[in-house]
Amino acid sequence: MTAVQTTRDELSLIKSYLLLTHILKTFENDAKKLESDTPTQTSTLYTEMIRNASRCAAVLLSGIRREFKKRSIRMCEVQHSEKGVDADYLCRGLHGTMHIDHAPFHNEMELRMRAYLGISSTENRSAEPIVTDSGRQSAAPVRNYGHRTSKPGVSAKKKTSRPYSAGAYA
């Protein structure tokens, strides 16, 4: 049962915390398995991909922990079972519990892991949008670079202001 005063944003933060901590453990275990198994030509590449995705998830988790401090949220106990994930938390001094069933938890975890690894969704899931921690839907991250109006090394000439309208005397 959730605490009476717990807001939707706070519940979303708690859910993201649960997902990200589990994702980080999964990434770490997978990277260790790749490193310990018989090395293949691409095992270092896969390990590097997992480590980069893990860094991305760790940055998000640190932001959530900062928000936890601001909002006085503390996780008391987290238990993973075959039925799902159960968490006890304190939010501004009020005790609350959260349960997420196994299937939805792992579906969301897989979507997030794909996003952190930079892997597009499979054919069956192509219609599902990526949902950010704030609950907003967005597309996969794209890096946009600004375009220069002048060539590098050439200084742009400053336009002189005219005391009159060009249209009046033209």
**Segment 54-110, tens digit of pLDDT:** 999 999 999 999 999 999 999 999 999 999 999 999 998 899 999 999 999 999 999
Residue 122 pLDDT > 60: yes
Q: At what angle do helices 102-117 and 8-36 cross, to 10 degrees?
A: 70
Sorted by where each begins, the domain ranges of the chain are 8-121
Q: Round to whole Å and give the CA distance between 10 and 93.
A: 13
Between the alpha carbon of residue 17 and those of residues 12, 134, 154, the distances in Å are 8, 12, 49
**Could you give the 3-state DSSP secondary structure of residue 24?**
helix
**Could you give the 3-state DSSP secondary structure of residue 26?**
helix
Average pLDDT of span 151-159: 53
DSSP codes joined into one string, 96-117: EEEEEEHHHHHHHHHHHHHHHH
Q: What is the pLDDT of residue 153?
A: 56
Residue 134 pLDDT > 90: no
